[in-house]
Amino acid sequence: MKSRKLGAHLDVFPVGLGCMGMSHGYGGQAEADAIRTLHRAVDLGVTLFDTAEVYGPFTNEVLVGKALGPLRDKVKIATKFGFNIAETIDGPKQQPGLNSRPEHVRAVAEASLRRMGIDVIDLYYQHRVDPDVPIEDTVGAMAERVREGKVRALGLSEAGVATIRRAHAVHPIAAVQSEYSLWTRDPENGVLDACRELGIGFVPFSPLGRGFLAGAIRSADQLGKDDFRRGLPRFDEDNIKRNLAVVARLEELAAAKGRTAAQLALAWVLAKGDFIVPIPGSRKIANLEANVETAGIELSAAEVIEIGALVTPDQVSGQRYGEAAMAQTNG
């Protein structure tokens, strides 16, 4: 399987693995099960694994380090900083607001390395653009970690075109991570073109619409009480009912092609450019294996157009985030 390149130096398998859901956001899972899934991903050839300090907070980095530390020469580990996290009587908790001050960039890198038990972070992302800190200052601090040998490459998450260009002028940006799928096409507003022009890899998270495009969710009742999708407008019960019609069309076409809806949706993302490396999350090994298999699916130009017309954002009910979270995107 031909690898894909993130920036100048990171060669990775075309499909990565988003690790968040193993311990954050969707209710988590038993550590032993998560480790089995992570090890199976490595066996299948997956090389890019994505985590962040805020997932837990902290617990997902610990999990990733425990599972992948012994396999360090086979994997690329990406993590992210950018939120305020405070110790409370109930443990570490995310606090309101963003934090990309240079001293915070330094402190989080050191803490992430300790938690994961590794010597270097392969890809270090700013999780959200902080409007109170010039991107030049933040990327300058990130670049210092590269010069120290503690970080190999830099990334941005949910950044707009102007921010990407300013950041890239300070230090080469290897990857931009944003939500991108059949039902979320925000990066088509210029971000994909900028990444292609500048030689920056693009890493779509939630390429399966947080599981919805896979046809796995038919009602909000399926979501656990701690599942953060309960707070997302698209997963409101009324919107789920409306959006099921979109998934039905995708499922019908997928069946005709001998594929699953998830595979068709992921293949569409992969076909949008050879600089694109999606990171679908998987807690079940069967889903992981199906996602990895998608890397070998080649769509014709006509099929890309056909699939892209089946599910479009204007056909989808509800925003991808609530107002506060939306305000932190496309910085």
Catalytic residue among 26, 55, 124, 125: 55
> How many Cα atoms sit within 13 Å of 1 on the Cβ side?
19
**3-state DSSP call for residue 78?**
strand
Angle, vertex CA 134, rays to CA 133 and CA 139, nearest 5? 100
Alpha helices in 97-160 (DSSP H): 102-116, 135-147
Handedness of CA 190, 196, 197, 199 (dihedral sign): positive
Distance CA 80, CA 64 (A): 13
Distance CA 145, CA 154 (A): 10
**3-state DSSP call for residue 28?**
coil
- In one-letter notation, the amino acid at residue 159 is A
| Residue whose tokens read 């954002």 | 313
Alpha helices in 126-256 (DSSP H): 135-147, 161-170, 191-198, 237-256
> What's the burial of 220, exposed, middle or buried (CB within 10 Å: 0-12/13-18/19+)?
middle
Distance CA 63, CA 161 (A): 33
180 tagged catalytic: no
Phi first, then psi, for residue 204 (nearest 5°) are: -75, 125
Distance CA 179, CA 183 (A): 10
Q: Is beta strand 10-12 parallel, antiparallel or unpaired with respect to 17-18?
A: unpaired
CB 323: neighbour CB atoms within 10 A?
8
Catalytic residues, by residue number, are 55
